[in-house]
Amino acid sequence: MEIPYTVAVRPDTGLNNVKLGIWLFLASEVMLFGGLFSTYVLLRMGAVEWPLGAEFLNIPIGTVNTAILIASSVTMVMAYASLKLGDFAKYKTYMLATVLLPVLFLCIKGYEYYEKVQHDHLPSHSTFLAIYWTMTALHGIHIIGGIAVNGYFWGPGSKMWHTKPAMFENRVEAAGLYWHFVDLVWIFLFPVLYLL
Amino acid sequence: MDNVTTAEGIAHAEHGHEAHELSFLQTYVFSQDHKVIGIQYAITALLFLLFGFTLMMLMRWNLAFPGRPIPVIGNFLGMANAPGGIMLPEFYNQLGAMHGTIMVFLGVVPLAVGGFGNYVLPLQIGAPDMAFPRLNMASYWSFFLGGVVMIASFFVPGGAANSGWTSYAPLSVIALEGQTWWLIGMMFLITSSLLGSVNFIVTTLQLRAPGMSFMRLPFFVWAQLVTSFLLLLAFPPLEAAGVLQLMDRVADTSFFMPSGLVVGDGPLEISGGGSPLLWQHLFWFLAHPEVYVLILPALGIVGEIVANNTRKPLWGYRVLVYSVIFLGFMSFIVWAHHMFLTGMGTTISTFFQTTTMIISIPSVVILSAMFLSLYGGSIRYTVPMLFALAFLPMFGIGGLTGLPLGLTAPDIHLHDTYYVIGHFHYVVAPGTIFALFAGIYYWFPKATGRLMNDLLGRIHFWGSIVAINCVFMPMFITGLAGMNRRLYDGGMQYAHVQGVMEWNAFMSYGAWALGFFQIFFIFNFFWSIRHGKKVGNNPWQSTTLEWQAPSPPPHGNFSTPPEVHRGPYEYSVPGASSDFSMQGEAPGADPEPAKV
Amino acid sequence: MSGNAEEVRKHIATYKKIAWALAVGTIVTVLASYLDVSVALGITIALIIASTKASLVAVYFMHLGEERSQWLNLTLGMTAAFWLVLMLVPLFTFSDHIGVAKTLPNANAPMEHAAEAH
């Protein structure tokens, strides 16, 4: 007996297995980052003094990074749309962009971290820096994961398009949902850490 | 349907159109079959339960006979832990912290959810396997790795974590290396749980056989579904907190370290500004739903066994379903009843006191429904039923003793005393663990095709029920007298508990007796795999779908997808030719006998 | 391959609009941070803009606007509810101290360092 509803939608739940699975995973991720945002609020409320983001962080660089990540979200959804239109070549182009843009993001972030280390602005310096380093690093790890997954679906995994296109579309959609979530987290992280 | 063993069936598995032979590693070690994974989880968890139990038996020596060398074993514990065989307080604390951690995270939950959930759930809903078999395998191995890390932590300098299973900051932050291992181990375990819970929810929603509507699901499946939502949404904040504590320990951050903390010879060189309460909030945000994770699968198992051995439907199926859903929801908003004595303030304490009182309602409803299910039943006192019956009053005692703890005023007196230990052990030990034993005796024939030995089972039961009450009932007495938790010498140095000290030795003898009676179970379990009485598909004459499959079921479980026509507990249906009608039996297949 | 080509092109048109909206939102939120307002108002504005951007991503890029699944709604609804509970944790921690001046007996700091909890 085959496992049903791996691609087809089950009528009474309105979902296929992968889509439900990825949304459940994202729900748990909301709670993970929620725990960290809650930590931020608690530490800031209880702090004697709390620095402005601009004191330690470079707002223009952060803005550029935000734009990069949003762009990668757009290219991701365009990659998926290309698949739905049957345009594999366009899919490959957009997906490559979706892989390379966050690599650029990480390089810029790496530069930001390097600068901090040079000025001795380590996590141990203050609770602000501690939560900054921790949240951006955890987000960064999620970006690395996304690059790996998207890279797989751009590269070796894309062979599935020729044998099982519907399932491949499904998988790319799931990867897209994850990637949009990573972008979503940064949409909140950027103003909270850099601008407030 | 051939009665092939699960392993053979898997080795010659047909996946879709290609039949291929799987290697030994693929069949037994890195299996993707939910039944094999369920058994892996169950046996690993049982081993951890035994290990955690052993830690407790060691602790109980020092509580009964503080300062006396431990006989025989004392010589092997090492100079760092027990010089001259006399347990050091630091070692006692390791035993305490790891006993809790291992029993909860490596023992009960992996057995209840990973073991029973994995094995039984797909069968009960008529599915060929879990929705994501590879993810299932990954979740087992993540659990296994977490367990290895936890056990390995005993052998690092300074030994295992010793700041309680609750790892409160700042003590846990300044603790020795073992605590870091604890945090890393927890990461693996939390990951395992998260992967598993995604699998369970998708499987239950998507892979139900035709005709298996939600209100026809066995109560066991509902219990596992709610449990999975609890694991999915409550664990991540603890993962976050674990990362933060790791940062505090390794990167010298001050998430949980307040300003001006002085340790030993001087103030700590940290930035300060952190909050120990933050750790407690994040920890208990998980750990309270976690205790419902401990009890819900047990309630599910007891429900199945009670219905089966009373030969009548469970009383109040809908009430049970709504109660278990409400219970799951409420479990997220009661956590700070573990923090009444932190100085939170009366407003917040009152809020949590109220939600805690409210959550007792669905618990009582569920327990009452189980009791009511016995009324008018034809009770068969099989070994599973003995454990399931004992569960009911034991869980009742555990639940009732929770009430003064959930009320802020009496909690002032009872917090951190042995009363608390008695309360939660009643719920988990003669509660959940008895239900798990019941489940093992009940589903063993499904997994192996053989019954466990009946006499050994009865000895196991009676010995355990007597001994376990000897261990835990006196804790209410010593707790009310004010004996504190986590004292390595059983409170020897405190004047206010001198009157109840004699109970320590009594409880220890009970604990060792309890350990002795588990030998019957361990022997029975392994002996019966080869020598138990052989049985067919449905030795207990049960109604649920798993009993339609062969014992043990082959890879893919059902040769054709079963069709469900009935509710889960159609026992003693008027007019039917036998006292049970299986879920897959077509309606009207059984002609009514001539009316007399 | 699958999905009506017309529909997909309509979606693509929408994606492009949303992309611009997100870009504008980013610029607005950076500019807004330079406004001379109280901390509380600043936080509120930033969170409103962020929530709007996040909703656009969720509804249009993640296709949440088109999903019709009760179980998905239930899961996300529960997640949102418990996430809110998590956000209230700091309130629970400080509810008794909000607005109260405290002197922190701090071994490192000088004694006249009286701090107002905020």
**Chain A contact present for C37, CB below 8 A:** no
Model pLDDT for residues A169-183, shown as the tens digit of each residue:
999 999 999 999 999
Model pLDDT for residues C14-58, shown as the tens digit of each residue: 999 999 999 999 999 999 998 888 888 999 999 999 999 999 999
Q: How far apart, in whole angstroms, are the C-alpha atoms of residue B490 and residue B481?
A: 13
Q: Are A34 and C83 inside 8 Å of each other by CB?
A: yes
Domain of A172? 17-195
Q: What's A138's domain CATH number?
A: 1.20.120.80
Report, as ranges of residue numbers, the positions in chain B whose pLDDT lies below 70. Answer: 1-20, 588-596
Instruction: With respect to residue A116, please indicate whether it lies within any of the assigned structural domains.
Output: yes
- Angle ∠(C88,A132,B257) on CA atoms, nearest 5: 65
**Is the Cβ of C31 closer than 8 Å to some Cβ of chain A?**
no
Question: Among residues A44, B334, B332, which one has the least CA distance to residue C80?
Answer: B332
Cis peptide before B552 (omega within 30 of 0): yes
**What would the pLDDT profile of A12-34 be if each residue is shown by its tens digit?**
999 999 999 999 999 999 999 99
Give the pLDDT of residue B588.
66
Q: Is residue A3 part of a domain?
A: no
- C95 vs A117, which has greater pLDDT? A117
B85 burial class (0-12, 13-18, 19+ CB within 10 angstroms)?
middle
3 state DSSP class of B534? strand
Q: Are B130 and B118 in contact (CB under 8 A)?
A: yes
Residue at A4 is within a domain: no
A46 against B321, higher pLDDT: B321
pLDDT over 70 at A111, yes or no: yes
Residues of C in contact with B329 (CB under 8 A): 78
Task: Tell me the per-residue pLDDT of B338-395, one tens digit each, with 9 for 90 and over.
Answer: 999 998 888 899 999 999 999 999 999 999 999 999 999 999 999 999 999 999 999 9
Q: What is the mean pLDDT of residues A51-63?
A: 93
Asked if A34's CB is within 8 angstroms of B236's CB, the reply is: yes
What's residue A174's pLDDT? 96
Predicted ipTM of the assembly:
0.95
**Residue A6 near residue B206 (C-beta atoms within 8 A):** no
All residues of chain C having their beta carbon less than 8 Å from the beta carbon of residue A27 are: 75-76, 78-79
Rounded distance between C-alpha atoms, residue A154 and residue A147, angstroms: 10
So what's the pLDDT on residue B20? Answer: 61
pLDDT band at C99; cut points 50, 70, 90? low
Residues 6+ apart with CB under 8 A from B409: none
Token output for B374: 């016995």
For position B280, what pLDDT does the model report? 96
The predicted pLDDT at position B576 comes to 87
Residue A153 domain-assigned (yes or no): yes
Give me the amino acid identity at C85: V
Q: In the prediction, which pLDDT does C115 show?
A: 47
CA distance B345 to chain C (A): 6
Residue A105 belongs to a domain? yes
pTM of structure: 0.93
**What is the model's pLDDT at position A106?**
98
Cβ distance C89 to B282 less than 8 Å, yes or no, reads yes
- The per-residue pLDDT for B265 is 83
In DSSP terms, B323 is beta-bridged to none
Give me B364's structure tokens.
Answer: 């009582």
Residue C109: both structure tokens together:
């700091």
Q: How confident is the model at residue C116, as a pLDDT?
A: 43
A1 within some domain = no
Pair of tokens at residue A179: 């990637």
pLDDT tens column, A126-164: 999 999 999 999 999 999 999 999 999 999 999 999 999
Q: Which residue among B129, B254, B281 sits closest to A127, beta carbon to beta carbon?
A: B254
- Tell whether C14 lies on the interface with A, counting CB pairs under 8 A: no
Let me know if residue A5 belongs to a domain.
Answer: no
**Chain mean pLDDT for chain A:** 95
Domain count, chain A: 1
- Do C26 and A67 count as a contact with CB atoms less than 8 A apart? yes
| Residue C19 forms contact with A (CB below 8 Å) | yes
Confidence band, pLDDT 50/70/90 cuts, at residue C118: very low
Give the gap in angstroms from C-alpha B328 to the nearest C-alpha of chain C. Answer: 11
Burial B465-474 (b: 16+ CB within 10 A, else e): bebbbbbbbb
Q: How many residues does chain B have?
A: 596
Is residue C7 very low, low, confident or very high in pLDDT (cuts 50, 70, 90)?
Answer: confident
**Are B284 and B291 contacting, i.e. CB atoms less than 8 angstroms apart?**
no
Give me the pLDDT at residue B29, please: 84
Q: What whole-number distance in Å separates Cα of residue A176 and Cα of residue A74?
A: 10
DSSP character at residue B69: P
Q: Report the share of chain A in percent with pLDDT over 90.
A: 94
